[in-house]
A and B are shown apart, each in its own frame.
Chain A
C-alpha cells in the first residue's frame, strides 16, 4: 500500500540512519502496564489450573488436586479477587494516568482496523509487498485486549455470584444460577483456548519472536521493530521526537 494510505499522520521524508534503528529503543509498555500484565498472567494461570479441571469431571484430570480440594478452592478465589482488583486498578489507570489514557486511545477500534486487516491478509499471501501500516496496537491486539476486558468482567461477575451463591439464590432462580455456572465454564474455556492458541503463538512461537518476546519484561522495542511491525506508530513517534521533514520549517 502506498504511503498515502496513512491518513492522519504526516509522511516523514527524513528518517534515522539504519544503524540508529537498532540502537534506539522505544518504550512500548510502561512499568505500570508491565506490572499489570504480570499480575494478569499469574492470576490467569492460577485460575485456569485450579478451574479448568472442574469442567472435566469423571476424567483423570479431576484427580490433579489429590486431597487438596479446599486448597484449590482457596487459591481459585484468591486469584479471582486478585483479578478483580487488577481490573479495578486498570480502570483507574485508563481513566487517570496520562499513559493509560493515551494507550487506551490507541486501543480504540477504528474503521482503519478493517482495512489494515485486509491489507495484512494480502501481505501474508504475498499479494502486496508493503507490510500493513499498523498503529501501536494492531487489530488482533485490539481484539485480544477487549476480549480480556469483556472476559474478565464476565468471569469476575459470575465468579462472585458463585462464591456467594447463598445470596445469589435470593435474587435469581436456580435455573438462572445454572446459567451462571454454564457461562463461567464456557467463558473460561474460551479464554484458555484463545491464550493457548493465539497469544502464546504470537509471543513465543512466531518466527522472528521465538523463543520469547521480552517486551512484557523490559517494555522495550527497537525502532526497527517499530518501523516494521507498527509503521504508523513509528511515524507518529518520529513526529513526537520533533523530527520534521526538511523544508517544512525552511531548514533543520
Chain B
C-alpha cells in the first residue's frame, strides 16, 4: 500500500498527512519523525517507498500477528487478510486505552466490522458470514456494551483473541488454538461465567464434554454464539417458550436417543401434557424442560442428586405445586403410550371409550338416517296412499 504512494501521483490527497492528526497520535506525541517509520525516504523526489515495518519496534505483536489467521498469507487470496494499519490506523494511531483509538474497547467492533461486515472483502477470503458484528450488537453482550456502556461486557477480541495477548493471535474457530473452538468454549465463557460453567461441568452434559464427547451441547449450542440473549428476552433460544425447541433439537433425534439409551417421544409427551399445552398457549409460568431437569446442572434420574431422581421428585414438583402428594413418583411423568406408560387397565379404559364413542356415533347416525328415511320416503308413500 505504502509502496504505491509515490508512483500514484493522481491520488495526491493520499500523500497528505495532517500534522494535527499526527501530532495527537501516540507516535506524534512521542516526537517520532516521518523517517523513523519511512526510512527509505531520504531525498526529494523520494525513492520508491518501502512498506512500514511496525515489527521493527513492535516485534512481539508482529510475531503474534504472523501466527494468526490475519497475519498468514491466505492460500487462495494470496495476501494476508489484515495488516497492522487495518485495525490500528496509520498516522492517527493511539493507545488502545485512548477512547479515540480505533481499537478502544467500547468501539472496537467498528474496526472489526470494517472487514467483517464487508461482503466483498470477506468473499475474497472465502468467508460468507457478514452478520457477526450486527448480530453481536443486538445480543445481550453487545447491548451491555453499547447501551449500558459496560466496559466489562465482552468485545470481539475477548472471546476470539488469546487470553492475555488479546487481538493479535486470533485463529479460525476450527483451529484447536482458538478460544472459540469447541474444545475451549466452556473455559472461554467460564472466564466471566465461572459459576455457570462449574455447574455445567457437574451436569451430565459437562461430564460427557470433559470426556471429549462430540454430541453433548456446550454453551453456544443452547445459547447461540453472537446472538446470545438473556432468558428474559422473547427472542432468546432459552426463553421459556423456546426451551422445548432448543432441548428437542437433540432429544428428539432418534439416532442420539438410541446411542445414549435415552427415552424417545419427548416432544409428544411434553407438548401433549398440561404443562406443554399451557406453555404453547402463552402461559410462560408453565413448567418447561428446565423447570424440572435444571439448566446447566442437568443430571440423569439414576443420579441420586438429580432434581428428577424419584426421591427428589416431590421437592422438585413442590417448587411450583406446594404440598403435592408423594404418590406422584408412582408412575411416569412423560406419558407417551397409555398401554406401556400407564398400564393395561388404562389401555382397556381407552378402548372402552373408543368403542363407546364409535358406537354412539354409529347409533346416532343410523337413527338420523332412519328419521330422514321416514320423512322423505315413508311419509311420502303414506300421503300418496291417503290420496289414492
> Residues on A close to B: CB < 8 A?
54, 57-58, 62-63, 65-70, 72-73, 121, 123-126, 129, 140, 165-179, 182-183, 186-187, 189-190, 193-194, 197-198, 201, 206-208
Contact = CB atoms under 8 A, between A and B. Distances in A.
A178 B298 CA distance: 26
Interface in B314-338: 321-333, 335, 338
B25 to A, nearest CB: 57
Contacts of B283: 69-70
Contacts of A177: 328, 331
B281 interface: yes
A141 B33 CA distance: 108
B276 interface: yes
A63 B369 CA distance: 35
Given A66-B281, A197-B360, 16 more contacts: A68-B282, A69-B283, A69-B286, A72-B281, A126-B382, A129-B382, A165-B321, A166-B324, A169-B326, A169-B328, A174-B329, A174-B331, A186-B350, A186-B353, A193-B360, A207-B375
Contacts of B335: 178
Given A57-B277, A124-B378, A206 B371 contact: yes
B271 interface: yes
A3 to B, nearest CB: 19
B349 A179 contact: yes
B277 A54 contact: yes
Contacts of A201: 364, 368, 371
Interface in B260-277: 268, 271-272, 274, 276-277
A62 B325 contact: no
A189 B361 CA distance: 11
A123 B379 CA distance: 10
B350 A174 contact: no
A198 to B, nearest CB: 4
A140 B346 contact: no
B382 A166 contact: no
B374 interface: yes
Q: Top 8 nearest A-B pairs by Cβ distance? A: A174-B331, A169-B325, A170-B325, A173-B330, A175-B331, A186-B353, A126-B378, A67-B282
A66 B326 CA distance: 34
Interface in B276-312: 276-278, 280-283, 286
Nearest to A183: B349
Contacts of A72: 281
B367 interface: yes
Contact of B368 (A54, A173, A190, A197): A197
Given A62-B281, A69-B283, A125 B378 contact: yes
Given A170-B327, A174-B328, A124 B353 contact: no
A173 B322 CA distance: 17
B353 A179 contact: no
Contact of A58 (B272, B322, B324): B272
Most buried by B among A63, A165, A169: A169
Contacts of B286: 69
Nearest to A175: B331
B324 A169 contact: yes
A174 B280 CA distance: 24
A126 B381 contact: yes
B32 interface: no
6 contacts: A66-B281, A68-B282, A124-B374, A140-B367, A169-B325, A171-B327
B356 A190 contact: yes
Nearest to A54: B277
B357 interface: yes
Contacts of A176: 331
A170 B325 CA distance: 4
B365 interface: yes
A175 B330 contact: yes
Contacts of B131: none
Given A178-B346, A190-B356, A125 B330 contact: no
B97 interface: no
B13 interface: no
Given A174-B327, A174-B328, A175-B343, A57 B271 contact: yes
B342 A179 contact: yes
A175 B271 CA distance: 19
